[in-house]
Structure 1
């Protein structure tokens, strides 16, 4: 790179020593006409590393991949909790409504009883007052009025 260049070959790369350059070409694998046999493994155990022998004698070693297991979904109950809560709330509401109907009926019956007692007291008290007013048996302190045959002439009372 430090060689002097002429104006017409500035775009050409500098020539290096041919022995210093090594070119690596990958060797293609021959197609496998059938499945390669697996190395015998003890039954019931899966090794951490698996080796496969190819038909041409080469051994390919790698890790085995376990299939992804889906996470277990929590089993749901046959009836959801929200439905149970709604049902229990409805039963409680129906129970309370029944109690409120009974309470309302009790209050109405109590009001009717009080109304009847007031009417009974008025009838008894009114009867007692009437007996007192209209009773003929006087007790000496009352005023007695004797009505005689009176004659009224020309707007004058002659008694």
Structure 2
């Protein structure tokens, strides 16, 4: 039975003599194995496709999104504005003291300038008045005699 057939035409013999060898597939790296907890083996599911093929496999649960953090009852912007107002209020006391200090310093400087002007002016007045009373050589002496004034002319 396994002997070659001799009664076939030469073209058919050539066709029968061809040997087809399968091409080996490259090894596929294995997927990482996910350890399952005992007793939690997922159920096998079969799906019938529209062309009639049946696909069988394990069902995979979709990934659940992380829960969204609850919003605070008051917005962060409002809290920041309130804290800024409290900080400004705390600083206002210091600013008030600073402005009061500057005002007092200005009044003190004004009084010192006024006092210096009064003292210097008094010293100048004393110098002028004492010089004319002493008869020192720095002033001009005028002797007035009895004069006769006739017809708007001075005769001395």
| TM-score normalised by L of structure 1 | 0.45
The one of the two structures with greater contact order (alpha-carbon pairs below 8 A, sep at least 6) is: 1
